Amino acid sequence: MNQLQKGSKKLLNAWAFYDWANSVYTLTIASSIFPIFYSALFVSQVEKNVSAFGMVFKSTALITYVTAFTFLIVAILSPILSGIADYVGNKKTFMKFFCYVGGLGCIGLYWFSLESIHTSLLFYFMGLIGYWGSLVFYNSYLPDIAFPEQQDRISAKGFSMGYLGSVLLLVLNLAMVMYPNWFGFDISISKTLLETGTETEITDALQTAKNSASFAAMRISFITVGLWWIIFSQYTFYILPKGVSKGGKVTKDVVFNGLKELKQVWLQLNQNLRLKRYLVAFFVFSMAVQTIMLVAVYFGEEEIAWGDADAKTFGLISSILIIQVVAILGAFLTSRASTKFGNIKTLIVINFFWMLLCFYAYFMETPFQFYIAAGFVGLVMGGVQSLARSTYSKFLPETEDTTSYFSFYDVAEKIGIVIGMVIFATIDQVTGSMRNAILFLVVFFVAGIALLFRVPKAKI
């Protein structure tokens, strides 16, 4: 097909549609059903420990450490792959590769078990690295396909489409988990027990059968996420431009060109004080934001008094749905606020709300309190993500080498996440409480706010 012109509605919508495709990963795998599934593996344990890599970990600390390790790998690989993509002029191929690795990793979670913990964590690793790896190239398309005045709105539209699409699939997955018999999962018990068992024995057996069926439904939901991600991404891949090749073979110099370009970007930041100071602020507050979003459901599962297992599953997934629905409104309001008050002032206010949420989370204990927190998280989650991305895009200097700049952006974000997750996991592992870990994140938001105040209003 003929390449669409920059700024065309069809091209912008095709770009935003990838959020519809891949956001099911962040909602079902990273934020809701997988954390519940993972925690259910330890339901028979009092201390919830697991042996892996020759050590004994608290269950939540292990998954946090693995997540941090994955982001470290992404931070190392992304500039190398960006350098190759820039040279061959085909960033779409790399975006596809990570999309398929991530999708297959999600499907592989069907076989996740403590008995094969290392293989299981490999599938988790694939899903995580696939999602974030593809975003390196996805984000770098934004200044290529949209003019500066379009970038805030199309960025917000992408996040909004992602929230909507992921909510639709999560509702289906939630129905599968809560009412497995509707989808053909077996919740029957033996005829003998029905005839001879006591009422308590029959009730317990029925609950056990339902729990087993719900557990099986969670495994199937991982497959639906992988298929959704791979299938719906095809429209984006069909429309997005391939790029312009510089020709020649991919040599050693080309492979490490991305690292050299990162160094060049760093040096160029000295000539752009506004972009440099914004990046430092982004590095600090994103460290906390991404950590909270990655551990929120594990926190809710462990620290909130839900009652029984069904109430916990329904409550946690309902909370995620609240976050996603409110986040659509949050992204829209943030886009409007940034237009009226400016990006930096809006980000300062959003970071202030995040700081207050950390204090609130430390004290909350009941499901109702968790629902309130979910609503406020949704309001600021979509806003901070879309606005942070578009602000960086708007602050970039005039250049055709957008991949290198967005690679630098992504590396900064990933290293920040690694630091945030390691600190969080270590506090969780040492103190035995996720409350202490989440309270510590206040430090990053306070620092982020202070650093945002230092960003010049105009390019310096």
52, β-bridge pairs: 55
Q: What is the pLDDT of residue 249?
A: 58
Residue of 24, 15, 9, 8 lying closest to 324 (CA atoms): 24
Q: What is the pLDDT of residue 445?
A: 92
Q: What is the pLDDT of residue 88?
A: 64
User: What are the structure tokens assigned to 350, written together?
Assistant: 């959003």
**27-30 CB contacts, 8 Å cutoff, 24+ apart:** 27/166, 27/167, 27/169, 27/170, 27/320, 27/324, 28/166, 28/169, 28/170, 28/173, 28/221, 28/222, 28/224, 28/225, 29/106, 29/109, 29/127, 29/222, 29/225, 30/128, 30/131, 30/293, 30/294
Domains defined along the chain, listed by start? 9-453 (1.20.1250.20)
How many degrees, rounded to 5, is the angle at CA 47 between CA 177 and CA 116? 60
pTM of the complete model: 0.77
Q: What is the pLDDT of residue 292?
A: 86
Residue 227 to residue 207: CA distance in whole angstroms: 30
Residues in CB range of 133: below 8 A, 6 or more apart: 74, 77, 78, 81, 94, 97, 98, 101, 102
How many degrees, rounded to 5, is the angle at CA 57 between CA 53 and CA 59? 115
3-state SS assignment for residue 350? helix
Would you list the DSSP string of 254-301?
HHTHHHHHHHHHHHHHTT-HHHHHHHHHHHHHHHHHHHHHHHHHHHHH
- Digit-by-digit pLDDT tens for the chain (460 residues) are 557 777 678 888 888 889 899 989 987 887 778 888 888 888 766 667 888 888 888 888 888 899 889 889 888 887 777 667 666 667 788 889 999 999 999 999 999 998 899 999 999 999 999 998 888 788 777 777 877 777 777 877 777 788 788 888 988 988 898 888 888 887 777 777 766 777 777 777 777 777 788 888 999 999 999 999 999 999 998 888 875 555 555 566 666 766 777 788 888 887 788 888 888 899 899 888 888 888 888 888 888 888 777 788 788 878 877 887 787 788 788 888 888 888 888 899 999 999 999 999 899 889 889 889 888 888 887 678 778 878 888 888 776 666 677 778 878 888 888 898 899 888 888 888 888 988 888 999 999 999 999 888 766 5
Q: Are strands 49-52 and 55-58 parallel, antiparallel or unpaired?
A: antiparallel
Residues in CB range of 281: below 8 A, 6 or more apart: 347, 448, 451, 452, 454, 455
3-state SS assignment for residue 66? helix
Sign of the Cα pseudo-torsion (72, 132, 68, 106, in order): negative
Would you list the DSSP string of 118-183?
HHHHHHHHHHHHHHHHHHHHHHHTHHHHS-HHHHHHHHHHHHHHHHHHHHHHHHHHHHHHH-GGGG
